[in-house]
Structure 1
Amino acid sequence: MNFKEVLLIVNPISGDIDKQRIINKVKEEVQRRNADFHLYRTTGENDIEKIRKFLDVHEIGRVLVAGGDGTINLVAETIRKYDLPMGIIPAGSANGLALNLELPDELNQQVKIAMGDNFINYDILSLNDTICLHMSDLGINAELIKNYENSNFRGKLGYLIQSIPTLIKSGYPFEFEIQSKGEDREAQAALLGIANANKYGTGANVNPIGRPDDGLFEILIFKRISLGEVLKTLRNETNLDPEFLEIIQTKSAKVICKKPVSFQIDGEYIGEETEIKISILPEKLKIAVPA
């Protein structure tokens, strides 16, 4: 695919990866293709508006993003109505979306795929008008992310350090009402997930039936905490105990919490919520993936 201009969007504070090395490698590849290279570093202040203004005055043919799931989510929201293909360079603390897309670990290969011509037309979920590409949940994992964001440790070590105090302090099980496919049902859960992919960033395959391009999403009801079942998900086993996990596949739903529950979207803590409206947006996100 030929394009005149490429925009690389980098989150300078995500993960612990050398961003300058990524910038240099992408710039080298773009120039090799005789295209113009542009760089935008996110600041957390009006990034969407600033990037859209840039897109309106340039002939960008490919947007690349170097960051974690939260940064990818921000870029997806920014470009979803521009019909622009996106390439991903995983560079976050937990790169769950990249893991699900089976992107390689080696930078040269990542750049080659991100600039390539093989794409998936990826579903975009809307959760209370905020988009979700990967995994969202209510409950104990969102509490863990909240504690992680408030700590001084980063990377997977930071999540590990926060896991025990989160378990001790959590008020689970939480009580939910799930409205979907014309039915209402009650559920008690330690965690209620909303999934557009198979795996968390840890590699846990919690949603073996999910596909990100099938026009459906899954509600995951984790009824209890079980180390044995968690280990199964890490080994990619699909025969999970129904007393541990129940999966509802649907096109739209509403989740009502009996009391405010911690909520996260694509690894970003949102706050405590009592109601989540879920649907699939009509747009698809064109993401470069391995052939």
Structure 2
Amino acid sequence: MEQKNILFVINPISGGKKKTAFNSKVLEVLDLKKFKPTFQQTSRAGHAYELGKMAVEEQYDAVVAVGGDGTINELGAALIGSNIPLGIIPEGSGNGLALYLGIPMNETAAIKRLNRFETAGVDCGIVNGKPFFNIAGLGFDASVSDRFANDSIRGPIGYLRSAINVISNYKPCKYELTIDGQHYEREAFMISVANSPQYGNNAYIAPNASVNDGLLDVCIVHKFPLYILPMMVFHLFNRSADQSEYVEIIPGRDILIKRVDDGPIHVDGEPIALAGNLHIQVQPNALNIIC
């Protein structure tokens, strides 16, 4: 049986986890009769995308993201339009997409899962030409992502610290939305456009979202009094955000968001600067995932 060439792309700083022993763990756990592994480490933003494109050119049989949703985003964007599937070893701060797909959080178990080499197609969202596979957002969560990206502390603790620092001064914004031709005007704390249900760490913003239904869930979190915050957090972790009177969820395929003020947005947890209006569409069955 001919070995499949598989490229592991390792983000050495994702999730604040050391990965110095990762290569040897793969050689120990991966079925080396089936697979021939190659390892590359990322060194900067955008590097995973470049390595993904290289894998397409060199016709690898699979690429594996060893990192979080940001690493998955870059590699997935590079693999769209190819037949090369993406594997995931969850090593991020939130691991939202991996949790939804049922990929083990344990490193050894996740590597073992690759041996089955079973794949499934997933949708992706496109915001102003930029793909996302989990969640894109603007407002409060984008401001938190922007601050977290510049924080020296990684992992859930760093993210929580960023959220606490941002919320004390954050003001809701006004938006105009057009979702599949329907017009809405909202003052919102934040707007998340979800392909999968959760940000990560089992915080569910869109409990009924699915990566293979050809839809995106537009989650509008309305302005709410600060004393409600503990209940909002409860809803997130109880998978009941859609039951809150302050949360409105509208599914759609073609979404236009006009905002009064420019600000950061996040794409799979990574902040990017996009000025002006946001045009978001869904691309069904855009990527194969090893799950």
CA contact (8 A) 1:176 1:255 kept: yes
Please state how far the C-alpha of 1:194 moved relative to its aligned partner. 0.5
Aligned residue in 2 for 1:119 = 119
SS at match of 1:147: helix
Query: What TM-score results when the alignment is normalised by the length of structure 2?
Result: 0.91
Aligned residue in 2 for 1:66 = 66
> Which sits farther off after the overlay, 78-87 or 278-287?
278-287
Pick one of 245, 264, 267 that aligns with 1:265: 267
Q: Distance in 2 between matches of 1:158 and 1:6?
A: 32
CA contact (8 A) 1:62 1:85 kept: yes
Runs of 4 or more off by more than 4 Å in structure 1?
Answer: none
Q: Distance in 2 between matches of 1:45 and 1:270?
A: 11
- Percent identity, aligned pairs only, is 27
Distance change (3 Å), C-alpha of 1:235 and 1:283: closer
Please state how far the C-alpha of 1:282 moved relative to its aligned partner. 5.2
Please state how far the C-alpha of 1:253 moved relative to its aligned partner. 0.9
> Does residue 1:228 correspond to 2:231, yes or no?
yes
Q: Distance in 1 between matches of 2:242 and 2:35?
A: 49
> Does residue 1:56 correspond to 2:57, yes or no?
yes
Please state how far the C-alpha of 1:168 moved relative to its aligned partner. 1.6
Please state how far the C-alpha of 1:257 moved relative to its aligned partner. 0.5
Aligned residue in 2 for 1:274 = 276
> Which sits farther off after the overlay, 158-167 or 138-147?
158-167
- The one-letter code of the counterpart of 1:234 is F
> Does residue 1:26 correspond to 2:29, yes or no?
no
Pick one of 240, 243, 259 that aligns with 1:240: 243
> Which sits farther off after the overlay, 98-107 or 5-14?
98-107
Q: Distance in 1 between matches of 2:45 and 2:206?
A: 34
Structure 1: runs of 5+ lacking an equivalent: none
Aligned residue in 2 for 1:169 = 169
Distance change (3 Å), C-alpha of 1:42 and 1:245: same
Query: What TM-score results when the alignment is normalised by the length of structure 1?
Result: 0.91
Distance change (3 Å), C-alpha of 1:165 and 1:88: same
Q: Tell me how many residue pairs correspond in the alignment.
A: 286
Q: Distance in 2 between matches of 1:69 and 1:6?
A: 20
Q: Distance in 1 between matches of 2:51 and 2:204?
A: 36
Q: Distance in 2 between matches of 1:54 and 1:165?
A: 40
Report the aligned-residue RMSD.
2.1
Please state how far the C-alpha of 1:130 moved relative to its aligned partner. 0.4
CA contact (8 A) 1:140 1:262 kept: no
Structure 2: runs of 5+ lacking an equivalent: none
CA contact (8 A) 1:137 1:191 kept: yes
> Which sits farther off after the overlay, 14-23 or 146-155?
14-23
Distance change (3 Å), C-alpha of 1:101 and 1:54: closer
SS at match of 1:200: strand
SS at match of 1:60: coil
CA contact (8 A) 1:140 1:191 kept: yes
Aligned residue in 2 for 1:96 = 96
- The one-letter code of the counterpart of 2:158 is G
SS at match of 2:43: coil
Aligned residue in 1 for 2:6 = 6
Aligned residue in 2 for 1:185 = 184
- The one-letter code of the counterpart of 2:18 is D
Distance change (3 Å), C-alpha of 1:208 and 1:77: same
- Deviations along 1:73-103, one digit per CA (max 9) or x if unpaired, are 0000111222111110001122111121122
CA contact (8 A) 2:214 2:253 kept: yes
